[in-house]
Structure 1
Amino acid sequence: MTRFAHTALVFYSSAAVLVIELTALRLLAPYLGLSLETNTLVIGLALSAIAIGSWGGGRLADRFPTQRLLAPALAISGVTAAATPAVMRAAASGDGSTLLLAAMLMIGVPGALLSAVTPIVTKVRLTSLQDTGSVVGSLSGISTVGAIVGTVVTGFVLISRVSVSNILIGLGVSLVAIAVVVLVIDGRARTVPTLVVALVAAGGLTVAARGTCEIETTYHCAVVSSDPGNASLLTLELDGLRHSAVDLDDPTHLEFSYTQALGAVADLVLEDTRGTAPSVLHLGAGGMTLPRYLQEVHPQVASLVVEIDRGVAELNGTALGPSPDVELVVDDARLVLDDVEAGSQELVVGDAFGGISPPWHLTTVEAVRAIHRTLVPGGTYVANVIDRGPLAFATAETATVASVFAEVVVLADPPTIAGEDGGNLLILASDTPLDLAALASGLDGVGWEVLAGEALRDWYRGAPILTDEFAPVDQLITSRRG
């Protein structure tokens, strides 16, 4: 093989490791959630595989005919990559330990073998000790560039255009094709048919086990399903979690308790705005359940919806029926807050999630101040959060909001407030006194209660205020969970 061919092998194998890492995150998200813990797990597994492969590849290159090691490393990696979606989805039907073991194998095996390519090629290229520095340095640099290209192409191009299954099947085919070329060059073409059969079997398993993901967006695996008892009621699931329910025949129907509570809050805030054109800012789109409700019940309202995931936003004009009449901005909500005119919003609704966690940079005191800046005098901010006992995140976020707004209350069902059960809580804030009696009346049909005054302060007393410097949202939510 030529020097260029060896360099290309190092580049492509390193890029492939990062393709596998990023797609593994997408495969695990529907079962483990898109959280800091999931990211940490996958990154840790990938780095471990790289370390093992680099060490093991060097050891093998010192003991065996080096050129003959390349084809097996590429071939096994390709077959494994093509089978990864099928194996992961099958493992997800078992318990968490089975899924973890599958992730370790399907990330670790190809990650280690592909990482072994660099030390193997280094051994081939080293013909003189005088060239050690330049050979090792150049191949290390090429490996790093390959990893960067693999990351950028996967994150910005592939995942937004191609399904995860097809990405991994395509990667598997390319790696096996390269292995076939190497085998032919080495004079071992008789092993090619067996390799091709293994690849076809792996790809076939993946095609047969597509899973329940109907639509892969930039950030999520999205599934839209209809209610068996009401065909017009559609539910949007993102990464296995129910995010929104939309009734195509009745936009005023709010299926979930927390959306009913949001509707009650919106009714209270907007009841005196008829004859005007108030604006409501929604941070997070989901199925746009509340904007649809407002369009029907409060037609005078102008809704501005911010959603970072273009795929989720587009579902509202396709799979979830006609999109409501809103101004839609596809961007990061924290960045959009800087562009919203100061004092322009009557109500801001924080309902953005990645799994059960809101994006951490929307939870900090700096973000809350940016939200406060957009509100009209006496305007209202309501944030939807999910937590369970010991409510470490919910209390911290309440303390954070209370450090900016003069008046704060928390709405939830009694077991959730008491930390006996998990669920949604709404943090409601304004600089003017909130009508607690009207709130309680609006929540009668929901079964929620209002926590306010000294009882609320006792509830969140001692909780940290989240800042851009310190906002461990995922850890606070998962604290002491069984």
Structure 2
Amino acid sequence: MARVVVFTTSASVLIIEILAGRLLAPYLGVSLEVFTGIIGVILAGISIGAWLGGRAADRLDPTRLPGPLMVAGGLSVILSPVIIDFFGPGVGINPLSIVFLATVGFVVPAALLSAVSPIVVKIRLASLDNTGSVVGSYSAIGTAGAIFGTFVTGFVLIAAFPTRPIVAGLGLLLSLGGASLMIGRGRWVPLAVLLVAVGSATALASSDGPCQYETTYHCADVVVDPDRPTGRLLILDRGHNSYVDLEDPTYLDFRYARVMADVIDANFASGPLSVLSIGGGGFTFPQYLEATRPGTDHVVLEIDRLLVDIGRSELGFEDEAEVVIADARQSIQDVPPATIDLVIGDAFSGLTVPWHLTTAEFVSIVDSRMAPTGLYLINVIDYGDLDFAMSTVKTFEAVFDHVAVIAPPSYLSGEAGGNFVIVGSQAALDTPALIRAIAERGGSEAVLTGADLESFTTGGLVLRDDFAPVDQMIDR
């Protein structure tokens, strides 16, 4: 039984660590900074719990402690989503907020459960002669539990169940396991624990949480536009990701989408194209291009299967494109070389493009799939000193002979921020036609090329696979 207790509590700490990313995503997004904060907080909880558990084992009767600690740990696990939902809407997206929200949500269950292992070791340590074997064996069991918790959560549970039922089930399991260790201290104690744990777990498992849809990677909501009843806004992790009009796919609500349409029309004659989209989102461009350029051959590389289902059920996507459900860095290898007229990069993890889709190595792969006159358009978000936007342009310049960035003048000067459209091609861009298209639309965006572009990118760096700190580059 002692080995089972250590294995279970250690596994539970790692289950909490992985689920923490899902619980924080609606408020903080999904980024390297968020996972860094979670890992640091969980490690702090493990450290605090091991230290306090060891002290308690020396000062109190250790045989009476594992049960109450497991019960308290289980109940605190069940409370974690409630605490996150209470504090989450009021926090910003910065390192301090990440650490704060992770701490209030997860440091207590991590500490309570981590206190069990040193207490069990004290119970099992009958003689100093076998200290090494006892400590070593329980350390190995705890590590094995942590490995099990990591694998079963990441590979099985998250793919099979929503987060809150997993949290509720884990909390209930821990509470009932702790109650079973307390049998013999009075009938009311296990009964009270049973009632509280079952009630709390049931309430949590049946609650909706902050998401309309919980995908493998995002908290997703689809909102009806009150000013345009046929309009649908896709929100991922608090960010406005995509907009489609169910009756008019040619309507582009987002400014960056209108800029991309200007670039396409300025550089390609009318007619169908061969298009590759990196990231599907709300599938705005597959529907737009099918409406404006019938017969377009469109392939979308989208990692999130449920987003595809949402596109079909809520956003009017009717298979205007072939969808490949896989990470774009891998699935692009199956795209035939030198065949694509237009590549649209619109993949996001929170506010950032996933770092491995920003590097010169990846951009070179994209270039190898493009026809000689092909275009690569990418949408990026940046603010403040514009490190990420400048570095994306620098990276494009390392691969393409012709590059441009399009954004409002206030964005380009750093006075404001938002979406930047960056264009790369081995063929000359029709900049005059693009400027005319923007003007005819009534847009205010400026187009930077040549010397103006070089001036804009001062201070930027070429992103590489071994150094692409995109999460840290964006000022929020």
Does the TM-score normalized on the shorter chain lie above 0.5?
yes
> 2-side partners of 1:189 and 1:438: how far apart?
82
Equivalent residues, number: 471
> 2-side partners of 1:293 and 1:376: how far apart?
22
Give the CA deviation at 1:75: 0.5
Aligned runs of 1:425-464 on 2, under 5 Å? 425-444=420-439, 445=441, 446-464=443-461
Give the CA deviation at 1:430: 0.8
- Counterpart of 1:217 in structure 2 is 215
Structure 1's unaligned 5+ residue stretches are: none
- Counterpart of 2:126 in structure 1 is 127
- Counterpart of 2:308 in structure 1 is 313
Aligned runs of 1:17-416 on 2, under 5 Å? 17-96=13-92, 101=100, 103-184=102-183, 186-200=184-198, 202-203=200-201, 206=204, 210-272=208-270, 274=271, 278-416=273-411
1:474 is paired with a residue whose SS is helix
> 1-side partners of 2:344 and 2:98: how far apart?
36
Deviations 1:63-118 (A, max 9, x none): 11112110111111111111211121111233457885453133111101111111
Deviations 1:298-350 (A, max 9, x none): 11210110011111122111222343321110111111222211101001111
Letter in 2 for 1:475: Q
> 2-side partners of 1:199 and 1:341: how far apart?
56
1:424 is paired with a residue whose SS is strand
> 2-side partners of 1:350 and 1:138: how far apart?
50
Letter in 1 for 2:133: S
Give the CA deviation at 1:284: 0.3
Deviations 1:236-262 (A, max 9, x none): 111111100111101111111011111
Normalising by the residue count of structure 2, what TM-score does the alignment of the two structures yield? 0.95
> 2-side partners of 1:23 and 1:465: how far apart?
34
> 1-side partners of 2:417 and 2:147: how far apart?
40
8 A contact 1:92–1:99 mirrored in 2: no
> 1-side partners of 2:20 and 2:109: how far apart?
12
Deviations 1:13-37 (A, max 9, x none): 1111111111111111111121221
- Counterpart of 1:15 in structure 2 is 11
8 A contact 2:50–2:114 mirrored in 1: yes
8 A contact 2:402–2:429 mirrored in 1: yes
> 2-side partners of 1:430 and 1:95: how far apart?
41
> 2-side partners of 1:218 and 1:208: how far apart?
19
> 2-side partners of 1:30 and 1:321: how far apart?
24
2:65 is paired with a residue whose SS is helix
Q: Which moved more, 1:86-95 or 1:407-416?
A: 86-95
Letter in 2 for 1:199: A
8 A contact 2:340–2:370 mirrored in 1: yes
> 1-side partners of 2:11 and 2:265: how far apart?
52
Give the CA deviation at 1:438: 1.1
Give the CA deviation at 1:229: 2.6
Distance 1:322 1:458, change over 3 A: closer
1:230 is paired with a residue whose SS is coil
Give the CA deviation at 1:45: 0.3
Distance 1:98 1:345, change over 3 A: closer
> 1-side partners of 2:105 and 2:65: how far apart?
20
1:258 is paired with a residue whose SS is helix
Letter in 2 for 1:440: I
8 A contact 2:85–2:210 mirrored in 1: no
> 2-side partners of 1:370 and 1:61: how far apart?
58
Give the CA deviation at 1:202: 3.6
> 2-side partners of 1:198 and 1:448: how far apart?
59
The alignment-based identity, stated in percent, is 42
Deviations 1:416-443 (A, max 9, x none): 1111111000110111111111111222
> 2-side partners of 1:51 and 1:24: how far apart?
18
Letter in 2 for 1:73: L
Q: Which moved more, 1:351-360 or 1:31-40?
A: 31-40
> 2-side partners of 1:294 and 1:269: how far apart?
14
Q: Which moved more, 1:117-126 or 1:216-225?
A: 117-126
Give the CA deviation at 1:201: 5.5
2:372 is paired with a residue whose SS is strand
8 A contact 1:91–1:99 mirrored in 2: no
